[in-house]
Amino acid sequence: MINLTDGILLCAVILFFVYGFYDQFVMNRWKGKTQLKVRLQNRGRLDAIIFIALIGLLVYQSGITPITLYLLIILAILCGYTAFLRNPVLLLKENGFFYANFYLPYQRIAAINLSEDGVLVIDLHNHKRLLIYVADVDDLPKILQFFIDSGRVQRSASV
């Protein structure tokens, strides 16, 4: 018999695998062919280290059942995979792009700017701002050229 804690941990592990499948396979094929794929900086490493340390502390401090122990270890391994092995990506499609696992059509873009420290800033029509930290600064001209070549944005005089 599985208790409530084990059920919640099992659901978390299953949801993580569903997320991993979506992230690795579905996004790349969904909403048309990927025109440009750019690796982004992984910015959640400190959070993952804290989460893994908390799981380790929980395992060390309490006498838990073996199945709970296995589920917690699997969760810690998956968290480590997400933080240290997997890189987030920006997928530019024909009619929109995937950022942070969400699809945004190009019609929602109000302006695109490049900050002095190499961060791509996309302003949306709903007054939200996306800060895109690319892993390789050499990819920024490719992204801007993609938007210019596709006719999504116009080159301003200051560029």
The predicted-structure confidence for 6-16, as pLDDT tens digits, reads as follows: 899 999 999 99
What does the pLDDT look like over 58-87, one tens digit per residue? 888 877 888 988 999 999 999 888 888 888
- The answer to whether position 80 is within a domain reads yes
Same domain, yes or no, for 110 and 130?
yes
Range of the domain at 21: 4-30+43-85
- The answer to whether position 111 is within a domain reads yes
Among candidates 135, 101, 131, which has minimal Cα distance to 31?
A: 101
Same domain, yes or no, for 135 and 109?
yes
Among candidates 86, 106, 88, which has minimal Cα distance to 32?
A: 106
Looking at residue 149, its pLDDT comes to 79
- The answer to whether position 145 is within a domain reads yes
Is the Cα torsion angle 144, 149, 154, 155 positive or negative in sign?
Answer: positive
- The answer to whether position 76 is within a domain reads yes
- The answer to whether position 155 is within a domain reads no
Interacting residues of 49 by C-beta distance below 8 A, sequence separation 6+? 83
- The answer to whether position 158 is within a domain reads no
Same domain, yes or no, for 114 and 131?
yes
> In Å, what is the CA distance from 62 to each residue of 26, 49, 51, 55, 66?
39, 20, 17, 11, 12
- The answer to whether position 37 is within a domain reads no
Among candidates 96, 87, 85, 80, which has minimal Cα distance to 23?
A: 87
Same domain, yes or no, for 100 and 79?
no
Same domain, yes or no, for 78 and 11?
yes
Flag whether the pTM goes above 0.85: no
Distance (Å, whole) CA 91 – CA 154? 20
Same domain, yes or no, for 51 and 100?
no
Domain count, the chain: 2
Same domain, yes or no, for 10 and 26?
yes
3-state secondary structure of 31: coil
Name the pLDDT band for 153 (thresholds 50, 70, 90).
low
- The answer to whether position 154 is within a domain reads no
Looking at residue 154, its pLDDT comes to 63
**Mean pLDDT, residues 89-96:** 88
Looking at residue 62, its pLDDT comes to 76
What does the pLDDT look like over 97-127, one tens digit per residue? 898 888 988 888 888 888 878 888 888 889 8
Report helix, strand and coil shares of the chain as percent, to nearest 5.
50, 20, 30
Same domain, yes or no, for 10 and 62?
yes
Name the pLDDT band for 156 (thresholds 50, 70, 90).
low
Whether residue 158 has pLDDT greater than 70:
no
